[in-house]
Structure 1
Amino acid sequence: MDFRLTEEQQMLQETAARLVRSEYTFEQRERYRESEPGFSKAFWKQLSELGLTAVPFSEAFGGFDGSGVETQVVMTELGRGLCLEPYMQSVILAGGLIDQLGSDHQKQTLLTGIASGEFIAAVGLQEPQSHYNLDDVETRAERLENGYRLNGRKAVVIGGHQAVKLIISARTSGEASDAAGISLFVVDADADGVERQIYPTVDGLKGCDVFLRNVTVPKEALLGTLDEASPAIHYQAGRAMAALCAEAVGAMEEAVKLTLDYLKTRKQFGVPIGKFQVLQHRMVDMSSELEQARSMATLAASVADDGDSVARQRVLSAAKHVIGRSGQYVAEQAIQLHGGIGMTWEYSLAHYAKRLIMINHQLGDDDHHLEVFSGLMETA
C-alpha cells in the first residue's frame, strides 16, 4: 500500500502548516486561551476561508469530499500548533453525525453552515457517569404531540460554550446503558432551559457541562431514526478517534523537537547534555515511539471512513491504544529530559505534555481500548 501523500494532499498540508506557523506562535496561543471565547475567532475564519472546515464534506454542501487522510493532514498541523479551536468537535464529530443521519433539509441548513465556518456545532454524548461508554445515557427525551422534551446533563462538551447548535444524545426508550433506545437531537444552544456551565480544561481548552431542563424541541430536531442513533454515534466516534490520533502525532513531533533542541543547547560540565549517552538512548526511545505513533495514525486514517465493521474498530482501538501510550511516554520523557523548566507554564513543552495526556483520555484511554481490542479479537 502506498502511504505517500498525493500532490493535492501535500498542498493541503502546506496550506494548513503555513496558516498555523503564521497565526499560532506559543505567545499568540496564550492570548487566545485567555480570551473570552478561549480560541481565536479570526483563526477560525481563516480556516473556513481556506476551505479547511469544509474538507470532509460533500461538494453539495460546500465541501471537498475529503477522506480520513485529508482530515489527518489538517489535524496533525493543528496538533503541531496546539490549536484551541473546536475543529474535531464541530467539523468531524458534529458534522459527521449530521452527514450520516440528517435529512436533506438538515444537511443543507446545518452542514453548509459548519463547512463554511458560519457557526460552530458541539456534541454532547458523554455524561458524568458514562466513563467512555457512549451508550450510558441517562438524559431523557419525552415525546410530545409536536416534538420532544429533554431533561438531563451532558459533561465536558468541548466548544459547547461557543456553539450555536448542540447535538445531544438522549434516551427515548430502554434503560441506561442499553445500546437500543438512544436518539440524537439538534438543540439550539440558546433555547429556553439550556444552561451551560463553562470551565477551562487542564490542557488549555474550554468546555462546559450542558444542563437540559424541560427543553422543548420540534419533531424536526430529531436526527435520524428514533431509538437507533447508537451505531452512528459509535461510527462517528471512530472517525473522531482517528482525528485525535493525528492531532497527537503533531503534538508529539513538536515535543520531540523541543527536547532535541534543548539537549543540544543545555550544557553541563562544559558540554551539551546531548553528548551524554544515556540521554541519547532516551531520545532514541522517544523517536521510536513517535515513529510507531505516526504509522498507527496513518493506518487509522486509512480506515476511518470505511464501512462499519469489527476489523475497522480493531484498527481504530489499536491506534488509540498505541498512540495514547506513546503520547504519554513522550510527554513524560520530554519533561524528565528538560528538568524543572519542562513543567513551567511559560514554556510550551508543558502545554504539549498536558494536551497529549488529555488526548489519551478522550473517547477512551489506552487501557480502555486495549480491552476493546482484546474483546474484538475474541469475536473475530
Structure 2
Amino acid sequence: MDFDLSEEQRLLKDSIEGLLTDSYDFEQRKKYAQEKGGWSKAIWGKLAEQGLLGLPFSEEDGGFGGGPVETMIVMEALGRALVLEPYIATVVLGGGFLRHGGSAAQKEKYIPSIIDGSKTLAFAQLETDSRYDLADVTTTAKKKGDGWVIDGEKFVVLNGASADTLIVTARTKGNRTDHTGIGPFLVPADAKGVSIKGYPTQDSQQAADITFSGVEVGADAAIGDPENALPLIERVVDEARIAMCAEAVGAMDESLKTTVEYLKTRKQFGVAIGTFQTLQHRAADMFVFLEQARSMAMLAAMAANLADSERSKTVAAAKVQVGKSSKFVGQQSIQLHGGIGMTMEAKIGHYFKRLTMIENTFGDTDYHLRRVSEQGGLI
C-alpha cells in the first residue's frame, strides 16, 4: 500500500507547516491564549486565507473537496504547534454535520461563513451522566407548531463560549438511552433561553457549560432526521476522533523532538545526559510508540468512508493505540525533562496536557478497548 503523499498533499503540508512556523511558536501561543475567547482571530483569518477552513467541503459548497487524509495532514500540523483555534469544533464537527446531514438551505446559510472564517460553531453533546455514550441524551426537543422547543443542559462544550451557532443533540422521543429519537439542532448562541458559562480547560483550550431553557428554534433547525440521527452523530464524532488521533501524532512528534533536543543540551556530571544509554533507550521506546500511533492514525483516516461497523471498529482501535502512545510519550517526556518539565514555562508539559485531553475526549482508551473487544477485534 502506498503511504506517500501526492504532490497536492505535500503542498498542503508545506503550506500549513510554513504558516505555523512563522506565526505559532510557544511564546506567541501564550499571547493568543490571553485574547478574547482564548484564541487568535488573526490566526483564524490566516487559516481561512489559505483555504484550510474550507478544506473538507465540496467544491459545490465553496470548498476544496479535501478528504480524511487532507484533514489528517492539517490536524497533525495543528497538534505539532499546539494550536488553540477551534478547528475541530468548527470545521470537523460543525462542518461534518452540515456536510453529511445538512439540507441545501442549511449548507448555503452556514458553510460560506465557516470557510471565510467569519463564524464558528460548537457541538453540545456531553451531559451530566452520559460519559461517552452518544445515545445517552436527556436534553429534549419538543414540537411547537412547525418548530421546536429545546430544554436541557450540556457540559464541556468545546468553543462553546465563542461559537456563533451551537449544534445541540436533543431527544425528540423515547427514553434516555434509546438509540432512536435523537436529533442534532442548530441553535444560535444568542437565542433567548441560552445561558453560557465559559472557562479554560487544563490544556489552555476553551469550553463552556450551556443551559437551554425553553429555547425556540424553527423547523429548519433540525439537521437530517430529528428522530433517527444517531448514525449521523456517530459518523461525525468518528471523524472528530480521527482528526484528534492525527493531532495527537503531531503533538507526540514534537514532544519527542523537544525531548531529544533537551537530552543533547542538558548536562550532568560534565556530559550531555543524552550520552547515557538508558536515556537513549527511553527515547527509542518513545519513537516506537509514536510510530505505532502514526500507523493507526493513518489507518483510521483511510477507514473514514467505510461502512459504519468497519469504520467504528477501526477508529476505536486507533483511539486505543493513540491513547496508549500518548500516555507513554507524554510521561516519558516529562520524566526525561526532570523538574523543569513540570513548570508552566516549559512547553513540554503543555503537550502532555493536550495529549491527556485528547485521550479523554469522545472516549478514553479503556472505553474504546471495550468497543473493539465487543466487535470481535480489529482483525
Q: CA deviation at 1:378?
A: 6.8
SS at match of 1:262: helix
Name the structure 2 match of 1:346: 345
Amino acid at match of 1:186: L
Q: Secondary structure at the match of 1:199?
A: strand
Give the conservation status (yes or no) of the 8 Å contact 2:255–2:348.
yes
1:374 has 2:373 as partner: yes
- Deviation string 1:38-57 (CA, Å, 9 cap, x unpaired) is 00000000000110001100
Q: Contact (CA 8 Å) 2:313, 2:378: kept in 1 or not? A: no
The 5 A counterparts of 1:125-204 are 125-204=125-204
Instruction: Name the SS for the 1:208 alignment partner.
Output: strand
2:57 aligned residue = 57
Contact 2:323–2:365 (CA under 8 A) maintained in structure 1: yes
Provide the rounded CA distance (Å) in 1 between the counterparts of 2:378 and 2:364. 22
Structure 2 partner of 1:317: 316
Q: For 1:330-364, what per-residue CA distance to the aligned partner results, in whole angstroms no more than 9, with x for missing partners?
A: 00000001110001001110100100011000110
Does the alignment pair 1:229 with 2:237? no
Distance 1:288 1:217, change over 3 A: same
The sequence identity of aligned pairs, in percent, is 46
The residue number in structure 1 matching 2:326 is: 327
Runs of 4+ aligned residues of structure 1 deviating over 2 Å after TM superposition are none
Helix, strand or coil for the counterpart of 2:131?
coil
Question: Residue in 2 aligned with 1:31?
Answer: 31
Q: Is the 8 A contact 1:56 1:66 kept in 2?
A: yes
The 5 A counterparts of 1:65-144 are 65-144=65-144
Question: Structure 1, residues 282-317: CA drift from partner, whole Å, max 9, x if none?
Answer: 11100100111111111111111x143322211111
Give the TM-score normalised by the residue count of structure 1: 0.98
- Note if contact 1:61-1:107 (Cα within 8 Å) is conserved in structure 2: yes
Instruction: Supply the distance in 2 between the matched residues of 1:228 and 1:121 (Cα, whole angstroms).
Output: 22
1:278: which partner in 2? 278
CA contact (8 A) 1:132 1:363 kept: yes
Paired residues of 1:140 and 1:150 also in contact (CA < 8 A): yes
Q: Secondary structure at the match of 1:228?
A: coil
CA distance, structure 1, for counterparts of residue 96 and residue 11 of structure 2: 24
The superposition leaves residues 127-164 of structure 1 with CA deviations (integer Å, 9 ceiling, x where unpaired) of 12111111110101111013111100111111111111
One-letter amino acid of the counterpart of residue 309, structure 2: V
| Secondary structure in structure 2 of the residue aligned to 1:157 | strand
CA distance in 1, matches of 2:127, 2:176: 11
CA contact (8 A) 1:62 1:116 kept: no
Q: Which letter maps to 1:5?
A: L
User: How much does 1:115 deviate?
Assistant: 2.1
SS of residue matched to 1:223: coil
Match of residue 244 from structure 1: 244
SS of aligned partner of 1:155: strand
TM-score, structure 2 normalization:
0.98
Q: Distance in 1 between matches of 2:146 and 2:230?
A: 24
Q: 5+ unaligned residues in a row in structure 2: which ranges?
A: none
Q: Is the 8 A contact 2:314 2:378 kept in 1?
A: no
Superposition deviation, residue 62 in structure 1 = 1.3
Native 8 Å contact 2:263 2:272 kept in 1: yes
Q: Structure 1, residues 177-208: CA drift from partner, whole Å, max 9, x if none?
A: 11101011100000000011101100000100
Structure 1 alignment gaps of length 5 or more: none
Q: Distance in 1 between matches of 2:142 and 2:84?
A: 36
Measured at CA, do residues 288 and 175 of structure 1 come closer, stay the same or move farther in structure 2, by a change above 3 Å? Answer: same
The CA RMSD over aligned residues, in Å, is 1.2
The answer to whether the Cα contact below 8 Å between 1:156 and 1:207 also exists between their aligned partners in 2 is yes
Check the 8 A contact 1:61/1:115 in 2, yes or no: no
